Amino acid sequence: MGIKILGMGSYIPPLCVENEAFTSFLDTSDEWITSRSGIKTRHIADGELTVEMGVKAAKGALRDAGVEPDDVDLIIFSTVTADFYSPSMACIAQSGLGIEECMCIDVNCACAGCVYAIDMARRYLVSGDVKKALVISSERLSQITNYEDRSTCVLFGDGAAAYLLEKSDAFYTSYMGADGTGAHLLFARRPEKKTVFMEHDVPALPEEYVDWPDGVLYMDGREVYKFATRIMPRAVEKAAEKAGVSTESIDLLIPHQANIRIIKTAAQKLHIPMEKVFCNLDKYANTSSASIPIACEEARRLGRMPSGTRVCLVGFGAGLTYGAVIFDV
Ligand code: ACO
């Protein structure tokens, strides 16, 4: 049993930053960024919250589906850049959408977050407890980007997208996983404070973590690159194998939009030609868990997902997490 996309929406903040803008304060170039990552521009949120962007995307999904907010039974909100420690983004989005009663959950699975969220939503839908599920991904990576670190800051952007899902009889398979031994390769530490009763200093991180400023992303780019090019094909192959289908049966591959070189390597390993791969990272850069749904919304709007299309979404990210879903539209 699978999922039906009733509607999708996305929200891209208007402020567009070109590669050239980084050259005024960093030793970098448009040529380096484009050739190493495929990114040309990214959008940055200026004066709006992560949850506000998510609500705008979700309103778009409801409008697209022609469904009233009160028909939503479940909200799963995926983000690594929540505005609050508590309450959850899902609860604040529920209020922003004017939904009186529904289940609300946040997931933090980094760039694989939306794939995890879709897989979770599908399980609730199949159980029958939930009839309509909103999966929202919204990220303000600009809030955790270290703009003094040229090897990471040029790669990230902000944005949001949402799916309204219900259950269907169509084909569906998935494969999710994580490898916590790589947690130190990509992290942003929550700022610690010494409180009034503490005798000790704030706790140090385990020794495998490099010394890095609190609150901003550290990434070992080369190790993450190796992980990504290994794990994306593996997750897709495992998902396909579980259901006894071949990866060649995939009509449209929508990978996490981190780096065009990673995507090309993964597609090549899967024997999926680039004509079947949807990419828009040149415009939006890496928006973590929002990247797959932003790309999916655009692909759908451009008519790349007609009825019967076999779509594969595959993501990887901090954790290190990974996940692939394959479903027929
Ligand atoms: N401009 C100019 N030079 C730069 C820049 C920059 N912006 N950034 C790094 N360099 C330099 C480096 O300092 C290095 O110089 P050196 O050789 O003198 O030390 C040189 O360029 C080459 O650096 P590499 O790290 O080897 O470059 P590489 O080709 O590996 O590309 C990149 C780096 C783009 C980060 C790549 O490793 C990558 O894409 N890694 C995976 C990142 C990723 O996908 N993350 C996704 C998960 S994170 C998330 O989604 C939230």
Please give the ipTM for the structure prediction.
Answer: 0.91
Give 26: exposed, middle or buried? Use CB within 10 Å, 0-12, 13-18, 19+: middle
Domains 2-169 and 173-183+213-328 equal at CATH topology level = yes
**For residue 253, what pLDDT is reported?**
98
| 2-169 belongs to CATH 3.40.50.300 | no
31 Cβ neighbours under 8 A, 6+ residues apart: none
Is 286 among the residues known to form the active site? yes
Is 108 among the residues known to form the active site? no
> Can you list the residues of the chain whose pLDDT is less than 50?
none
Is 111 among the residues known to form the active site? yes
**For residue 228, what pLDDT is reported?**
97
Catalytic residue among 102, 104, 109, 111: 111
Query: For residue 132, what are its two tokens?
Result: 């309509």
**For residue 41, what pLDDT is reported?**
98
Query: For residue 75, what are its two tokens?
Result: 């909200």
What is the domain partition of the chain in residue ranges?
2-169, 173-183+213-328
CATH architecture, domain 173-183+213-328: 3-Layer(aba) Sandwich (3.40)
- Residue 221 Cα to ligand 1 middle (Å): 6
The 10 Å Cβ neighbour count of residue 223 is 14
Residue pLDDT, tens place only, 151-201: 999 999 999 999 999 999 999 999 999 999 999 999 999 999 999 999 998
Residue 28 Cβ < 6 Å to ligand 1 = yes
